[in-house]
Structure 1
Amino acid sequence: RAHLAILPGARTHCAIPITHEGRVLGFVGIASLEAGRVTDDSKRLLYALASQAGLAVDQIRLNEQAKVMAITDGLTGLYNHRYFHERLAAEYERARRFGHPLSLIMIDVDHFKLFNDRHGHLAGDALLEGLGALLRDNVRRIDMAARYGGEEFSVMLVETGRDEAMAFAERLRAAVEVGHLAQSVSADARITISIGVAGSPSGTDSSEGLIATADRALYRAKAEGRNRVCTAEPEPGNRQRAT
């Protein structure tokens, strides 16, 4: 029926499918309201055009794959460090311009080297993949999760104040502590994470300052015993969990 789309009421027509990886993407064809015969030269031309169109689609697909690979982490499928920095800088400026809240959390897998030594690097990779999936499943579409490097991850929470970010981070920490990741890695593995939280406005004047604040918060969480959520400075009445 492709000729009907080319020219309704056509009496002479020829349509060749444009295919890619076994799927028909469309048609290229000619049609006429007059009765007649499509010449062999016209058919050869259509086949050539369809072939070129299929190659063009394949090239577009490869280009899109290259773009995705350039901004994502190969193991976890999350965004990579470089792209996260770009997005965070842009979102920080937007939040500052319009006076909207923005929070950043930094996550580190506790004693990851020891875990690798005990369970092997394949299990370590599976752990990181599992944590990446946990983040991906729990962030909103407007937020952004990334593998920051090694066993460290980061999450940008748009339109989110520090208190909300703390609550979100605590839910992540608790999910890992009760065995969410261990189920798919190793039955006898005890996996915990430490999390640092920073929110704007936080006395910083750049996205780099926000990262530095979140890093200090993460360092504090690790220094105070790990498996906890911390801000850069102690808060009155803080009951963050210790191990």
Structure 2
Amino acid sequence: MTGTQRASVAASTLWVISSGFVGWRVWQETGEKWLAILVTALVAAAGLLAVTALLLFRQLAVASAQQERLDRLTAEWQMAQQTLQELLRQRDQLGLLVRLMQRFVSASERRELLTTLLSELGLFFKLETAEGVLLNQTALYGIWRRQDGRVYLQEWDSDSARQHLHWMGAQPMAGEASGDIVVPVRAEGTVIAVLHLVRLAPFTPEDRQFLEIVAAQVALALGRIKLITSLETLSITDALTGIANRRHWDLRLAEEVARAQRYRYPLAVLMVDIDHFKQINDRYGHQIGDFVLQQVVQRLRQNLRRTDFVARYGGEEFGVLAPQTSLESARILSERLRRAIHSEPITVTGTNGPVAIPVTISVGVAVFPDHAQNESDLVAAADAALYQAKQAGRNCVRMADTAPKGGE
């Protein structure tokens, strides 16, 4: 029994005793027995009613306090649930960011980055479709669909991408709840990529905020790939002429010879040397000599096919790879190059005004498999033919000996 209950019992007992005393006094005063009994009953009932009311109010007060405490505990529990859900959401987002950053660090080209990004976002946000386009001189477009979970890539020029992808011009939605969102990726204030994500459920403000973080990481990753590409290009590019250097030549020669061996088609190698180039340097200086080299390269490139490859082999000597080019076609190509250089002198601006410098080239030609079966023998055969052209008076084309040299 609680303290309140014991106090109520004591009060009730005291009140009953008091009502009996009042009834006794009425009986003494009036001598009316039934009146005394009635007064006693009324007083006792009034007292019991008062005690009962007091107990009821007390219980109501206790119940109200307990309800308030229950409501407070319920609110705290709901807040704890919300906090837990937020922590789980942040954990999942952090996990996605970590995966993306790990994949971005290892990505060396844009195709790999876009494939990873669309796949991860599609699964994380439970999307219907995830589209993305990486903008550059050539736009790389990709789309991920929930039905097959694969990413399909396609290259466009930037103008065609804007024509085909109407959503690229859409403004990112900031406040409107929607399951269709456009996320721009910016670097130094310029849009370098755009993402288009679609799902059935609307994107929350937290989703949008997280996608902004993802976009920032994508911008960093694209900058890294651009830097790597630039460094790779510098490592295989001749600084003076802008064409491939000797390192790139060696790599490309091995690839082209292997491809020619696999598919059994001819591959022509042209070794090109500028005649009497030392005299140009000695007479006009190295700056004019550098300009002559650049002009010769420009004319060579203008007269080569898109599939041909030209590199600076060393000094004033250049190498040309012409895939799927037969012996006779290689001869015709070499003559075209020779005439392009010889037909018109190279005009330079000297201290006394414009100077026209006549320039000629000598060309040695070897063709796989007619003259050699591997890259080293092929270059050696073309070099030997170039030497013959020099011995023949320069400004001419010579073909290598037709007997193949060497083995594999």
TM-score w.r.t. structure 2 length? 0.49
Report the secondary structure of 1:195's partner residue. Answer: strand
Question: 1: distance between equivalents of 2:263 and 2:181?
Answer: 57
Question: 2: distance between equivalents of 1:29 and 1:201?
Answer: 51
Report the secondary structure of 1:105's partner residue. Answer: strand
- Of 376, 380, 396, 1:228 maps to 396
Percent of residue pairs identical:
38
Question: 2: distance between equivalents of 1:138 and 1:112?
Answer: 21
Gaps of 5+ in 2: 1-169, 403-408
Instruction: Quote the offset at 1:122 in angstroms.
Output: 1.2
Q: Cα 1:13–1:99, aligned 2, differ >3 Å: closer, same or farther?
A: closer
Conserved? CA contact 2:303–2:336, under 8 Å: no
User: Could you say which residue in structure 1 is the equivalent of 2:132?
Assistant: none
Please state which structure has a larger fraction of its residues in helix: 2
**1:97 and 2:262 aligned:** yes
**1:24 and 2:191 aligned:** yes
Question: 1: distance between equivalents of 2:401 and 2:179?
Answer: 79
Q: Cα 1:15–1:143, aligned 2, differ >3 Å: closer, same or farther?
A: closer
Report the secondary structure of 1:188's partner residue. Answer: strand
Deviations along 1:142-168, one digit per CA (max 9) or x if unpaired, are 221111111000101111012111111
Report the secondary structure of 2:273's partner residue. Answer: strand
Q: Cα 1:221–1:3, aligned 2, differ >3 Å: closer, same or farther?
A: same
Deviations along 1:75-94, one digit per CA (max 9) or x if unpaired, are 11211112212222222232
Aligned length, in residue pairs:
226
**1:66 and 2:231 aligned:** yes
Deviations along 1:81-140, one digit per CA (max 9) or x if unpaired, are 122122222222322333311111100011111101111111111111112222222222
1:33-44 equivalent positions in 2, closer than 5 A: 33=202, 38=205
Gaps of 5+ in 1: 235-243
- Greater relative contact order (Cα < 8 A, sep 6+): 1
1:51-200 equivalent positions in 2, closer than 5 A: 51-179=216-344, 182-183=346-347, 187-200=355-368
1:199-238 equivalent positions in 2, closer than 5 A: 199-233=367-401
Question: 2: distance between equivalents of 1:75 and 1:21?
Answer: 30
Instruction: Quote the offset at 1:203 in angstroms.
Output: 4.0
Instruction: Quote the offset at 1:193 in angstroms.
Output: 0.7
User: Could you say which residue in structure 2 is the equivalent of 1:238?
Assistant: none
Deviations along 1:50-94, one digit per CA (max 9) or x if unpaired, are 443322221111011111112221111211112212222222232
Q: Cα 1:90–1:52, aligned 2, differ >3 Å: closer, same or farther?
A: closer
Q: Cα 1:27–1:212, aligned 2, differ >3 Å: closer, same or farther?
A: closer
Q: Which region of structure 1 is more displaced relative to structure 2, 167-176 or 50-59? A: 50-59
Residue type of the partner of 1:136?
R
Runs of 4+ aligned residues of structure 1 deviating over 6 Å after TM superposition are 12-16, 28-32
Conserved? CA contact 2:372–2:378, under 8 Å: yes
Residue type of the partner of 2:311?
A
User: Could you say which residue in structure 2 is the equivalent of 1:237?
Assistant: none
Larger Rg, first or second structure (1 or 2): 2
